[in-house]
Amino acid sequence: QVQLAESGGGLVQAGGSLRLSCAASGRTFSIYAMGWFRQAPGKEREFVSYINWSRGNTIYADSVKGRFTISRGNAQNTVYLQMNNLKPEDTAVYFCSARLLGAQHEYYEAKGYDYWGQGTQVTVSS
Cβ(24)–Cβ(98) below 8 Å: yes
pLDDT in tens, 6-38: 999 999 999 999 999 999 999 999 999 999 999
The confidence band for 83, taking pLDDT boundaries of 50, 70 and 90, is very high
- Percent pLDDT > 70 in the chain is 99
The confidence band for 54, taking pLDDT boundaries of 50, 70 and 90, is confident
CA distance 94 to 2: 18
pLDDT of residue 98: 97
Mean pLDDT score of the chain, rounded to an integer? 96
The confidence band for 72, taking pLDDT boundaries of 50, 70 and 90, is very high
- At 101, the amino acid letter reads L
Q: How many helices (H) and strands (E) does the chain have?
A: 0, 11
For the residues of 18-39, what is the DSSP string, one character each? EEEEEEEEESGGGEEEEEEEEE
